[in-house]
Amino acid sequence: MNEPLLEGARLSGRLEAGLLKACLTQTYTNPGTRDLEVVYTFPLPFYASITEVTATIGEKQLKGMVKAHRSAEQDYEAAISKGDSSILVESSGNGLFTANLGNLRPGERFTVSMHFVQIIDWHHDRARLLFPTTIAPRYGEAQAQGKLPFHADTGTSITAEYGFELDVLVRGSMARAVLESPSHSISQIPEEAGSVRIRLRDEAFLDRDFVLRLDGVVAPEGEVYVESGSDEHFAMATFYPSLKSQQAGQQVHDAERAADPSSPWQYPLRVKLLVDCSGSMEGDSIESARNGIRALFDGLSSKDQIAVARFGSSLEHVLEKPKAADPKTSVILRQWLTTLEANLGGTELESALVGVFKSTGDQEPFDVLLITDGEVWDISATVESAKSSGHRIFAIGVGSSPGESLLRQLAEQTGGAALFVNPNEDMTEAMHRLVSMMSGPRVSSVKVTWNSDATLEALVSEHLYVGVPFRAVAMFKGPIDTEKQPSATLHYRIGKDSHVLSSSSTASVRNDLAVRYVVAEACLQCMDDEARAAFAEAHQLVCLETAWILVHERDDDDKADPLPGLAQVPSMHAAGSHGFGKLQILKQVADNGVSYGASFMASAMAQADLPNDVSLTRNLNALSASRMLKVKMAASSALKSIEERTAQNLEIPA
């Protein structure tokens, strides 16, 4: 078996004020005898912005800079052709990034460190840090639909094991919350000033999201963080909207009179439930889906209207036209739930959504409640179809490594919301949270005003929900004015009523939270393509139009081959995806001639006797799975157990 090129990754950082400022360090080695160009595509959180890229090559330390993508690419290729080493970190879009390491010499070790800042989820008194570590197998074509360049399509391996280490310091009021991780076993070490250091207790791998929950977080009334720049300063205002239940009920009655279909949970729901039953949902994910649907059904009354469908390669309506959730309908739905399985093959999400949108014709759009692992490559087309439908999409991402980017974009572009549930989290609680957001008072006319003229301003999200922090950002010319620090006011309407929420009049100057990158990133998202490249390069942001470039000029006696061998590093197979983690290993692969788009580059499979390169195709019904191991472990760690059990004929669903 070949030694891995990627040894593993380490996440270190500081969590404070709803922001994670961290560094992801990847370590690569070349155990072979030939110079290599190593390529690895990996995820970062959807709301993360890279602030700096550094690297070490042996004892040499390098620091990168952002250039226009074409210019950075030319520098990278030129360095390789001269026998030097170079590192190019580029955005592949939709939360994916690709590290290109040119001329990794035999026996050498490279470390690549991506420093970034991330906004974390927050709902009422609970915050949730989600950090993805792998890309689960996705349905469709990575290059044609996912827009990945050929070299960046690095695939997925069921035999690879890359270690994962973590060291995160939780500070401030967030350190006073109850901390727990449903994804990993953690140690909590008290530090000075009430801080808590989080480390992994057991051996871990890059095969599942790291999730840290913070319960009992106290939200301030409203705050503004400011960071100074050379000739400008950056401000981020965070508001924490809340409504008393009696006030919310009265406002919703007003909204109903204004033909608003939404109301709190005690008022009628108008919802279309769409459940992913593709093969990738087998195991943990479909079990979570059942639990969530059961919680939804338990809360329905005859005043609620519901339609139900499931999808995979095709769309199957259970209730195509919305019906009142009366006792007769409730019996039908509960009987259907007992038969729910992940047996519909591929994940044709776009066509399923279109079918659900059309089911009510010209009626006022319903809300769509989507439960899925989100593992599809065709993100852009799916989001565009949803955006034009008029339906709000509320999504629950299930599994150990759900497709965060797709679900965030679906929610943001349609005015809905997205939540993510680890297999070890309470799906019932998550369903109640999402339904409360779906059925709460509709908010309109959202805008933020600043007390000074801003050169640029933007909203991190355009949609406001009770209990969810709402963030606005702005850039101002010149240094910070100590006499007139930035402050902001949030304006919005519920029904016919206008509301105002003000931030603190005193801003906190924090040059240690990377606020400037959060601000610049939000402003970048509001720009057209022509303006994006220049702005991103000026503010050192990586996007499709830019890239980070680092070059190491080697001594003449240490020059590398100007034509190194290409070595693509596949992602680890996500635990629980396609049943892995509970359905551990594959033996046979069926092929119906339709490309799935995920490549499994397995080096050895012991008794499984697979070839070196195995492409999993989307045969929908010909594949089956045998339950073997209930313990969640990396897929390749299951090989010894399989040998001991003399497994002879295991298969994996598409």
Reported as a single tens digit per residue, the pLDDT across 397-425 is: 999 999 999 999 999 999 999 999 999 99
CB atoms within 10 A of CB 96: 20
Which stretches of 152-283 are DSSP H helices?
245-257
pLDDT of residue 422: 96
Provide the residue type at 555 as one letter.
Answer: D
Which of 105-109, 152-156, 217-221, 619-623 comes out lowest in average pLDDT?
619-623
As given in the structure block, the two tokens for residue 388 are: 């034009």
pLDDT in tens, 306-326: 999 999 999 999 999 999 999
Q: Rounded distance, CA 452 to CA 176, Å? A: 35
pLDDT in tens, 248-261: 433 333 433 333 33
Find all residues with CB under 8 Å of 148, minimum gap 6, and list them: 41, 92, 96, 142
Higher pLDDT, 639 or 422: 422
pLDDT of residue 594: 36
Length of the chain: 654
CB atoms within 10 A of CB 531: 12
Higher pLDDT, 260 or 196: 196
Pairing type for strands 367-372 and 270-276 reads parallel
pLDDT of residue 580: 61
Reply yes or no on whether the pLDDT at 387 is more than 90. Answer: no
Query: What is the 8-class DSSP label of residue 41?
Result: E
In this prediction, residues 429-442 reach a mean pLDDT of 89
Q: What is the largest CA-CA distance in the chain?
A: 81
Which of 7-21, 242-256, 519-533 comes out lowest in average pLDDT?
242-256
Residue 654 β-bridge partners: none
pLDDT grade, residue 265 (50/70/90)?
low
The pLDDT mean for the chain works out to: 85
- The H or E element that residue 209 is part of is none
pLDDT in tens, 340-362: 999 999 999 999 999 999 998 87
pLDDT grade, residue 84 (50/70/90)?
very high
DSSP string, 285-341: HHHHHHHHHHHHHHH--TT-EEEEEEESSSEEEEEEEEEE--HHHHHHHHHHHTT--
Q: Rounded distance, CA 26 to CA 43, Å? A: 13
Reply yes or no on whether the pLDDT at 13 is more than 70. Answer: yes
Q: Are 103 and 561 in contact (CB under 8 A)?
A: yes
Q: Rounded distance, CA 349 to CA 216, Å? A: 36
Q: Rounded distance, CA 213 to CA 122, Å? A: 10
Considering the domain 222-243+443-528, what is its CATH architecture?
A: Sandwich (2.60)
Reply yes or no on whether the pLDDT at 109 is more than 70. Answer: yes
Superfamily of domain 265-439: von Willebrand factor, type A domain (3.40.50.410)
Reply yes or no on whether the pLDDT at 620 is more than 50. Answer: no
As given in the structure block, the two tokens for residue 411 are: 């929610």
pLDDT grade, residue 229 (50/70/90)?
confident
Reply yes or no on whether the pLDDT at 263 is more than 60. Answer: no
Every domain of the chain and the residues it spans:
222-243+443-528, 265-439
Which long-range CB contacts under 8 A does 330-338 form with residues at least 24 apart? 330/297, 330/300, 333/297, 333/306, 333/308, 334/297, 336/308, 337/290, 337/293, 337/294, 337/297
Q: Rounded distance, CA 385 to CA 409, Å? A: 12
Reply yes or no on whether the pLDDT at 539 is more than 90. Answer: yes
The percent of residues in the chain predicted with pLDDT above 70, rounded, is 84
Q: Rounded distance, CA 461 to CA 121, Å? A: 12
pLDDT of residue 178: 97
Q: Rounded distance, CA 353 to CA 389, Å? A: 9
Q: Rounded distance, CA 199 to CA 11, Å? A: 10
pLDDT grade, residue 503 (50/70/90)?
confident
In this prediction, residues 264-273 reach a mean pLDDT of 75
Higher pLDDT, 628 or 103: 103
Q: Distance of alpha carbon 87 from its chain centroid, rounded?
A: 25
Instruction: Please compute, for residue 96, the number of CA atoms within 13 A of its CA located in the half-sphere on the CB side.
Output: 24
Residue 161 — φ and ψ, nearest 5°?
A: -135, 115
pLDDT of residue 591: 34
pLDDT in tens, 567-618: 999 999 998 777 665 533 332 233 333 333 333 333 323 333 333 333 333 3
pLDDT of residue 603: 31
pLDDT grade, residue 634 (50/70/90)?
low
pLDDT of residue 631: 42
Pairing type for strands 178-180 and 614-616 reads unpaired
As given in the structure block, the two tokens for residue 63 are: 């620091």
DSSP string, 551-598: EEPPPGGGPPPSSPEEEEEPEEPPTTGGGTTTS----B----S----E
Nearest C-alpha neighbor of 280 from the set 368, 382, 401, 145 = 401
Q: Rounded distance, CA 183 to CA 400, Å? A: 8
The percent of residues in the chain predicted with pLDDT above 90, rounded, is 70
Q: Do domains 222-243+443-528 and 265-439 have the same CATH topology?
A: no
Higher pLDDT, 441 or 184: 184
